């Protein structure tokens, strides 16, 4: 360990002499309170240190001691359900010990070192060792498992940097603490493997093979899954101004997506928003198990009033935890809210280090840091043999909703899925407020085979709907000038269908028990019904049928759920029209009632065929 002396203090940036022989990014303990910091620059005998805690009270001449190791997190059972700060200090433990305000230098073990976990050794490995077989000590070998929660089983693996020729010893089934040694390797460089292991946050964990992102991360949100899909192992950004719904969209995805583990990083968010997350997540019910969502969630809280340097490192902490569960074969989804606040922390630290600023004061290496974060996503074949993935969904908060600012523009270079939030949609209470004009997804081709197994019509109806919405945008400009009545019926039909798509497909009610989540099969069928209605209606218009006849079409029968809705919404006096019922199928037909959609389709097509037949007969006469 090297010891130096503080010679300059500039907020969270400290210059210390006598640490020239330390390593870059080594952890340093500063001052009497042993505040944690990290060496970010070395200049001859001086080291520039960024500290992750409140530096109030530090003085010139105080000690700065290098620990000789990089900033690392402890990986093992007990992380699920825990609330950490950016450097993996357990906030709940610190709160119980010292109250709401955390003192500088306060410490807490990342994992409970007193709790005993029931370790079950891998049966095949245990039998092979009993027989005296030679098991090479390779990275990622599953030594055994620990049931971490009812939803997640933690695999205890050999670390990626394992040393030794063979696995010489494996612990028997029993209860062990995180510090307990559960395996030993033999050879020239023997190593003891504990139940919990350390890993540097800035170094990506390696994997055996990178795989194609050809399976979608199903979120249950129709505008995302069908129009702008995200693959497991993919990267996405949600940019939007204040109040457009970035946080709420991430909450919905966290609850409903089919990832096995959720990691939510509150990076520089306002305290009240982070409080909502900390209080709401434990109350949310996991729809897959019926248990608390926290049984497969890790929260990392770094609010805007916490030390700015810890905000900068929090995203690396989160992605390292995600890679650990990925290596077990789990699919992990990271919600980073927001990367703009993280970039602001980077800008402040860069300014205090007197670096040359680039666009809008951000450091010139902002794109590099963004790339380092987003490129740690991916779907891989782990050393353990399973397939796992890390999907990153980063919220971006451009000032004034200006998507041309540097963080948004540089983020677009490293992501393949862009969900742009629209203020006009948010003001109109259209949820999710994702713009179908400005958003895009480059994963559509990769996930196409998966969706076509759900419904072969997926690609066709998706493209038809997107084309129609773009056509509606062009017609809307004309309508503003001359009004809709001046348009021919076929163009007014485009406007009508676009309204059905917006209200009956893209908009979702998160408080509706049916509409809050939509299964993939129902998503495609809903859009297929809308586009079938549009095509058949256009055919009728070409034969001379006026648009008012189409909008007034009524069916001959309704399903049980629709009968109740008709009575409530129409006062029992008149049945809803085909068009109105089509827009309400999203909430009137449950996810598991596919036959109701088929019945409605038959009724809709029958009504349109009757109209078609009547005008075809007039044309013949």
- Cβ neighbours, 10 Å, residue 59: 9
Q: How far is CA 326 from CA 178, 209, 212, 573, in A?
A: 20, 13, 15, 57
What residue spans define the domains of the chain? 2-70, 112-195, 209-446, 458-620
Q: Over the stretch 321-361, which tens digit does the pLDDT of each residue have?
A: 999 999 999 999 999 988 999 999 999 999 999 899 999 99
pLDDT at 382 over 70: yes
> How far is Cα 475 from Cα 37, in angstroms, rounded to an integer?
58
Q: Would you state the pLDDT for residue 232?
A: 96
For 31, the token pair is 């001052």
Number of H helices, E strands in the chain: 18, 25
Q: How far is CA 209 from CA 169, 327, 383, 386, in A?
A: 28, 11, 8, 11
Fold agreement between 2-70 and 209-446:
no
Q: Would you state the pLDDT for residue 560?
A: 43
Strands 261-269 and 46-51: unpaired
Q: Over the stretch 74-116, which tens digit does the pLDDT of each residue have?
A: 999 999 999 998 899 998 888 888 877 777 788 889 999 999 9
Q: What is the mean pLDDT of residues 113-132?
A: 93
H or E element at residue 265? strand 261-269
pLDDT at 153 over 80: yes
Mean pLDDT across the chain, nearest whole number?
A: 90
Instruction: Output the CATH code of domain 458-620.
Output: 1.10.1140.10
Q: Would you state the pLDDT for residue 225?
A: 96
- Cβ neighbours, 10 Å, residue 13: 23
Q: How far is CA 475 from CA 281, 480, 492, in A?
A: 43, 9, 9
Q: Would you state the pLDDT for residue 605?
A: 93
Q: Would you state the pLDDT for residue 561?
A: 46
pLDDT at 123 over 90: yes
Q: Over the stretch 281-299, which tens digit does the pLDDT of each residue have?
A: 777 778 777 888 889 999 9
Picking from 85, 544, 157, 460, the residue whose alpha carbon sits closest to that of residue 310 is 85
Spatial CB neighbours of 506, under 8 Å, sequence gap ≥ 6: 222, 223, 227, 430, 434, 436
Q: Among all chains, which residue has been given the structure tokens 């890679």?
A: 323
Angle at 178 between CA 174 and CA 183, to 5 degrees: 65
* CA atoms within a 13 Å half-sphere pointing along the CA-CB vector of 90: 16
- Cα 404 → chain centroid: 23
For 51, the token pair is 């500290």
- Cβ neighbours, 10 Å, residue 241: 17
Picking from 183, 126, 122, the residue whose alpha carbon sits closest to that of residue 328 is 122
H or E element at residue 37? strand 35-43
Q: Would you state the pLDDT for residue 273?
A: 75
DSSP secondary structure letters along 89-103 = -BHHHHHHHH-SSPP
DSSP secondary structure letters along 287-333 = TTTSSBGGGGEEEEEEETTS-HHHHHHHHHHHHHHHHHHHTTT-EEE
Q: Over the stretch 467-493, which tens digit does the pLDDT of each residue have?
A: 999 999 999 888 888 888 888 999 999
> How far is Cα 438 from Cα 419, in angstroms, rounded to an integer?
8
Q: Would you state the pLDDT for residue 566?
A: 45
Per the CATH hierarchy, to which homologous superfamily does domain 209-446 belong? Answer: P-loop containing nucleotide triphosphate hydrolases (3.40.50.300)
Q: What is the mean pLDDT of residues 36-58?
A: 91
Q: Computed from CA positions of residues 427, 430, 434, 438, in that sequence, does the dihedral angle turn out positive or negative?
A: negative
- φ/ψ of 303, rounded to 5, equals -75, 170
H or E element at residue 65? strand 63-70
Q: Among all chains, which residue has been given the structure tokens 């357990």?
A: 90
Domain 112-195 has CATH 2.40.50.100: yes
Domain 2-70 has CATH 2.40.30.20: yes
Q: Would you state the pLDDT for residue 480?
A: 85
């Amino acid at each position: 360990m090297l010891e130096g002396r503080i010679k300059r203090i500039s907020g969270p940036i400290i210059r210390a002499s006598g640490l020239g022989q330390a390593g870059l990014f080594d952890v340093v303990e500063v001052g009497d309170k042993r505040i944690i910091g990290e060496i970010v620059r070395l200049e001859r005998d001086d080291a520039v240190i960024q500290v992750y805690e409140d530096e109030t009270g530090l003085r010139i001449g105080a000690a700065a001691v290098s620990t000789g190791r990089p900033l690392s997190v402890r990986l093992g059972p007990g992380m699920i359900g825990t609330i950490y700060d950016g450097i993996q200090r357990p906030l709940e433990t610190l709160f119980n010990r010292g109250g709401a305000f955390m003192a500088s230098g306060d410490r807490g073990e990342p994992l409970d070192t007193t709790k005993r976990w029931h370790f079950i050794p891998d049966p095949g490995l245990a039998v092979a060792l009993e027989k005296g077989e030679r098991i090479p000590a390779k990275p990622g070998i599953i030594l055994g498992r620990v049931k971490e929660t009812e939803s997640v089983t933690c695999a205890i693996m050999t670390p990626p940097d394992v040393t030794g020729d063979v696995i010489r010893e494996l612990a028997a089934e029993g209860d062990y603490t995180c510090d307990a040694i559960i395996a030993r390797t033999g050879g020239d460089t023997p190593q003891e493997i504990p139940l919990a292991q350390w890993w540097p946050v800035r170094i990506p964990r390696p994997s055996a093979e990178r795989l194609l992102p050809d399976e979608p991360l199903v979120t249950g949100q129709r505008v995302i899954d069908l129009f702008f899909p995200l693959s497991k192992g993919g990267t996405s950004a949600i940019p939007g101004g204040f109040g457009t719904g970035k946080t709420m969209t991430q909450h919905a995805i966290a609850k409903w997506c089919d990832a096995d583990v959720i990691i939510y990083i509150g990076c520089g968010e306002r305290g009240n928003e982070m409080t909502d997350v900390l209080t709401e997540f434990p109350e949310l019910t996991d729809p897959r198990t019926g248990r608390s969502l926290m049984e497969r969630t890790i929260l990392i809280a770094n609010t805007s009033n916490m030390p700015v340097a810890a905000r900068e490192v929090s995203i690396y902490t989160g992605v390292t935890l995600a890679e650990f569960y990925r290596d077990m074969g789990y699919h992990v989804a990271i919600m980073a809210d927001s990367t703009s606040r993280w970039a602001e922390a980077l800008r402040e630290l860069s300014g205090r280090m007197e670096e040359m600023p680039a666009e809008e004061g951000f450091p010139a290496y902002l794109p590099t840091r963004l790339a380092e974060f987003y490129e740690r996503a991916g779907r891989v074949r782990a050393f353990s043999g399973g397939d796992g993935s890390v999907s990153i969904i980063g919220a971006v908060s451009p000032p004034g909703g200006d998507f041309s600012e540097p963080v948004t523009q540089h983020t677009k270079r490293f992501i393949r899925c862009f969900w742009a939030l629209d203020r006009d949609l948010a003001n109109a209470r259209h949820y999710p407020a994702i713009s179908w004009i400005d958003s895009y997804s480059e994963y559509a081709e990769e996930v196409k085979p998966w969706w076509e197994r759900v419904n072969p019509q997926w690609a066709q109806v998706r493209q038809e709907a997107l084309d129609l919405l773009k056509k509606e945008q062009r017609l809307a400009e004309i309508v503003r000038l001359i009004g809709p009545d001046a348009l021919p019926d076929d163009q007014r039909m485009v406007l009508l269908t676009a309204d059905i798509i917006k209200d009956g497909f893209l908009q979702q009610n998160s408080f509706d028990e049916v509409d809050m989540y939509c299964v993939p099969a129902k998503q495609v069928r809903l859009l297929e019904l809308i586009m079938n209605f549009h095509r058949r209606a256009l055919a009728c218009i070409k034969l001379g049928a006026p648009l008012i006849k189409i909008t007034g079409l009524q069916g001959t029968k309704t399903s049980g759920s629709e009968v109740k809705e008709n009575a409530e919404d129409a006062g029992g006096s008149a049945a809803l029209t085909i068009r109105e019922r089509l827009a309400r199928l999203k909430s009137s037909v449950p996810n598991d009632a596919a036959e109701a959609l088929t019945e409605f389709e038959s009724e809709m097509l029958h009504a349109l065929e009757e109209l078609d037949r009547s005008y075809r007969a007039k044309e013949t006469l």
